[in-house]
Amino acid sequence: MTIGLGAVARARSVGGALRRMPVIPIFLLGALALAALFAPIVAPHPPLEIDLSSALAPPFYHEGGSLDHLLGTDRLGRDILSRVIYGGQVSLLLAFSVLLIGGSVGVVLGLLSGYVGGVLDAVIQRTVEAVLSLPTIMVALVFVFVLGQSFTSVVLILAPFITASFARMVRGEALTVRNMNYVALARVAGASHMRIIARHILPNVAGTIIVIATLEVGALILVEASLSFLGVGVPPPTPAWGLMVDDGREYLATRYWLSLFPGLAIVMTVLSINWIGDWLRNVLDPKRQEL
């Protein structure tokens, strides 16, 4: 059996991409996800447990620190390590909730906009442009004032922005795919529009959807942390990373660990997700693969 040169080239391309797999970011993100998933088992203390006798205790490597509180405690004596672990649970849950809601709607709108075109495309794209032109922080301030500060409010605030982002990107891919020969043949064969979208267009834009979703997780975590830092995100005493950074602002000169460790968690998580997203884009996009 003769193997085509194209198949060999694709195999080499995929093999090269796998060799460039970002092992360290995948390990860091995997460790964070497992710690968040098994937070009740991994965390050494309950995240809301107050112990004023241990307030502002330093990390174990400082004089006066102890192994009972490896990363120290905050002004109420709550364990920093435990709150960082549970903060990962909050951030990941919020990001995936927003992606599930906003991403699903955005994919549907993008597919319809790209495939149907015409007036529907114009209406959807003008709406998308209007949403993306809005300042996220300002909109969040207004919505929190109207809806109240809660986890659900943050999801509802961020979902439209994710919907618009997905709709714009998926629409661009759908415009390309709908002009392919196999789509034209499906029309000639009498396939319905819904069948063409589900069987021919959606599978061919799946790679783009996966890449967008991966990159948006990092962006959502960063936005959620910013909103919590400004006091319009997840309400206290929920152990959110942004809230923890904000709680330590007035102690930066003397108790740096209050803001440092949740800040490091945000940076490492977002960078790891972005690296993984860039790698997935190279793997899933044939035009970026090197022969």
φ/ψ of residue 69, rounded to 5: -130, 85
Report pLDDT for 280: 83
- CATH number of the domain residue 253 falls in: 1.10.3720.10
**73, part of any domain:** no
Report pLDDT for 4: 47
**21, part of any domain:** yes
**48, part of any domain:** no
**242, part of any domain:** yes
Domain that holds residue 189: 8-35+87-288
Report pLDDT for 291: 43
Report pLDDT for 6: 45
Report pLDDT for 111: 92
**193, part of any domain:** yes
Q: How many domains does the chain have?
A: 1
Mean pLDDT, each 10-residue run in order, the chain (291 residues)? 45 57 88 90 92 90 88 92 92 90 93 89 92 86 81 89 92 85 79 83 86 87 85 84 88 89 91 87 63 43
Report pLDDT for 16: 56
Token representation of residue 161: 């922005």
**162, part of any domain:** yes
Report pLDDT for 14: 52
pTM (two decimals)? 0.82
**41, part of any domain:** no
**130, part of any domain:** yes
